[in-house]
Amino acid sequence: MSLPKAEETANMVEMEMQWAVKAMHHAETYMKLLQAVGGKNLKLTPIDDELYEDLKAHFPDLKLDVLDEAQFKTEKAKAAWRDFINKYEKRVKDFNFGSLVRIDCKGDYTEENSMFVTRTQFYCVEVARNKEGLNDSVKQ
């Protein structure tokens, strides 16, 4: 792997900023939907039921109310998630785009309560939270 050329690094910073803006917009939109509609009434993907069942089968010990970053960020966890996510490459739009997920489902998106994940991980966590009623307290 080679390092980027000096003239390319500005573009990388710009790309990171564009990603951050897009991820934050996605997070804000999702919170507005949760607050207005409630989790039980949201369908996030055409395959919500499948994502939920597959998540529960592959990650039965995943705590959903307050996420443990180690279950996403260790090398072992990353490998397990990578295998899981890749199955959905052609079925989940933007399956590996960066997204923000709330660590504690009772809180809003803040710097302390947000974690970077892939879009598929976001959908899996939030579909499960919605189905299990963990996002009910967010609705205004």
Q: What is the CATH number of the domain that holds 97?
A: 1.10.3560.10
Does a structural domain hold residue 92?
Answer: yes
Does a structural domain hold residue 134?
Answer: yes
Does a structural domain hold residue 80?
Answer: yes
Does a structural domain hold residue 2?
Answer: no
CA 105/CA 49 separation, integer angstroms: 20
Does a structural domain hold residue 27?
Answer: yes
CA 135/CA 89 separation, integer angstroms: 27
Does a structural domain hold residue 69?
Answer: yes
Domain span including residue 39: 7-138
Q: What is the pTM of this model?
A: 0.84
CA 30/CA 35 separation, integer angstroms: 9
CA 41/CA 37 separation, integer angstroms: 6
Q: What is the pLDDT of residue 2?
A: 52
Number of helices (H), then strands (E), belonging to the chain: the values are 5, 2
| Cβ atoms 47, 53 nearer than 8 A | no
CA 97/CA 140 separation, integer angstroms: 29
Does a structural domain hold residue 40?
Answer: yes
Q: Does position 84 have pLDDT exceeding 90, yes or no?
A: yes
The separation between CA 66 and the C-alpha centre of its own chain, rounded to angstroms, equals 14
Mean pLDDT of 50-59: 97
DSSP letter (8 states) at residue 46: T
Lowest mean pLDDT segment, chosen from 23-27, 71-75, 80-84? 23-27
Run of H or E including 102: strand 98-102
The two three-digit tokens of residue 82, written as one number: 């990578």
Residue 114: which pLDDT band, with cuts at 50, 70 and 90? Answer: very high
Mean pLDDT of 7-25: 66
Q: How many CB atoms lie within 10 A of CB 37?
A: 11
Q: What is the pLDDT of residue 28?
A: 87
Does a structural domain hold residue 89?
Answer: yes
Number of domains in the chain: 1
DSSP letter (8 states) at residue 44: -
